[in-house]
Structure 1
Amino acid sequence: MRNLKVHYFQHIAGEGFGSCYAYLKAMGAEITATEFFALPLDSQLDIDALPHVDEVDLLMIMGGEMSVNDEANYPWLKIEKRWIRRYLATEKPAIGLCLGGQLIANALGANVSRNPIQEIGWTLINRSQPVLENVFQIPDRMKVMQWHSETFDIPKGAIRLAENHACVNQLYQIGKNVLGFQFHPEITPHSLNIFIDHEEENRVFNNASLQSLNTLRHSQQQDYQMGNMLLNHAIDFVLKIE
């Protein structure tokens, strides 16, 4: 039996694979990446330059600072969404994180738009669904890392799994093989510091429900653990590992 082949789409240099890298490597996974941020902005990416869907057993789509709607400035977004649709048609496992969750939703025809409140920092989310068979289970309430200005509508045929007062759509499930997160369960101390440095430099969040950046720099290890464990469970769920 061949090793699990995991491919991830990365959109900015500071937003890499995060906490689940070690978990997947412990499974013996072969991990490859497409680094869209390394492409020239005027690059005319051909879809055939991306991996063939038959070569991917699990797709992970990471976050990023761009909007899924900004195809004019990031022309590779259109090709990425075409590839995502092609991949999802095979009913293989996929997980989208923040921008990644928005990309899956948008590729399937759902709207992505400005959220009424920008979310940044550790916030609480609530489970939307009762405990049902074949539904990914999350705690009734949990603290997660948020870092977004936009949000997705729930794609047709998907179910909403989590919500909070600031953003009604926090997590959705499609079938038994696709999960789209609005928050960042993969966050680590290293990646959070990169987020904070970027925000201090660019001041993207000006209407945010936020904690101070200095407070976030002093996040405790236990703050990360619940989200990291949730992402590991999500991987098991879409891969159908008992």
Structure 2
Amino acid sequence: MKSHLKVHYFQHIAGEGFGSCHQFLKQHYAKISATEFFALPVDRSLEIEALPQVEDVDLLIIMGGEMSVNDEVNFPWLKIEKRWLRRYLSMGKPAIGLCLGGQLIANALGAAVSRSEKQELGWTAVRKVNYVPAECFELPAEFNVMQWHSETFEIPKGAIHLAENDVCRNQMYQIGKNVLGFQFHPEITPETLNLFLENEEELDHFSGQHVQTQQQLKKTSKNNFIDGNQILNQAIEYVLQKTAY
């Protein structure tokens, strides 16, 4: 991994933090910066010039959020974020999208993001799809990860479908060798989960057989976080190595 790597985060909700990969990147002496979209006044439009210069970012990590990628009326900065993303991705630069982040990359590239037939919240098994080309990012046959979503992405044109489960088919995709989009939350840590659980208003929006209760989630074993955290670290190394950043 390149020394003094310049990593930029797009953060959409306050208090979320950067999850497990922050420590991993710090161990590699990455220089970390962030755009905090949640700090913008609702009635303020964002100019694209306020975002970093594409040339100044070696790795982009796009975090999750409660909003829909389609809600540009209530979150007008979404339009500018997607416009910047298209510029960044057109240069073949490395990017990782986590939950909303994966949806944003897909949507910026023309794929639909829509309401899921069933909501997912809690720990679930996800599996690698059959017949993934050998040169693609390597996933375990099955792994346990945190889900927290009401919407899901279509696989962008030209992307490769990497992972699925029985509740939500599109769990992960790859574009070229520089972009990985996740529907689940591989970055989640015990601290991040506790912050999520403090938002009772958000929890009230979830229901159904694939939604775990707050009490169940509070009893999560530390072992549950391992699969996702390892996959995310490997994903960062993959997109960086494949693009020589």
TM-score range with shorter-chain normalisation? over 0.9
Output aligned runs, 1:164-183, within 5 Å: 164-183=165-184
Q: Which runs of 5+ in 2 are unaligned?
A: none
Structure 2 residue aligned with 1:128: 129
Moved more, 31-40 or 199-208: 199-208
Moved more, 100-109 or 214-223: 214-223
Output aligned runs, 1:220-239, within 5 Å: 220-239=221-240
Output aligned runs, 1:195-206, within 5 Å: 195-199=196-200, 203-206=204-207
Under a length normalisation based on structure 2, what TM-score does the superposition of the two structures give? Answer: 0.95
Moved more, 77-86 or 10-19: 10-19
State how many pairs are aligned. 242
Structure 1 residue aligned with 2:99: 98
Question: How far apart are 1:80 and its partner, in Å?
Answer: 0.2
Output aligned runs, 1:189-200, within 5 Å: 189-199=190-200
Taking the aligned partners of 1:147 and 1:23, their CA distance within structure 2 comes to 23
Structure 1 residue aligned with 2:7: 6
Q: Which residue type is aligned with residue 93 of structure 2?
A: K
Taking the aligned partners of 1:120 and 1:100, their CA distance within structure 2 comes to 17
Taking the aligned partners of 2:133 and 2:240, their CA distance within structure 1 comes to 18
Measured against aligned partners, the alpha-carbon deviations of 1:38-68 in whole angstroms (never above 9, x if no partner) come to 0001111000000000000000000000000
Taking the aligned partners of 1:31 and 1:212, their CA distance within structure 2 comes to 34
**Secondary structure at 2:225's aligned position in 1?**
helix
Question: How far apart are 1:222 and its partner, in Å?
Answer: 0.7
The alpha-carbon distance between structure 1 residues 194 and 79, as it changes in their structure 2 partners (threshold 3 A), is: same
Taking the aligned partners of 1:220 and 1:161, their CA distance within structure 2 comes to 27
The alpha-carbon distance between structure 1 residues 5 and 201, as it changes in their structure 2 partners (threshold 3 A), is: closer
Taking the aligned partners of 1:19 and 1:113, their CA distance within structure 2 comes to 28
Q: Which residue type is aligned with residue 111 of structure 1?
A: A
Question: How far apart are 1:196 and its partner, in Å?
Answer: 1.3
Let me know the Cα RMSD of the aligned residues.
1.5
Q: Which residue type is aligned with residue 45 of structure 2?
A: Q
Structure 1 residue aligned with 2:88: 87
Measured against aligned partners, the alpha-carbon deviations of 1:53-109 in whole angstroms (never above 9, x if no partner) come to 000000000000000000000000000000000000010100000000000000000
Q: Which residue type is aligned with residue 216 of structure 1?
A: L
The alpha-carbon distance between structure 1 residues 146 and 187, as it changes in their structure 2 partners (threshold 3 A), is: same
Structure 2 residue aligned with 1:110: 111
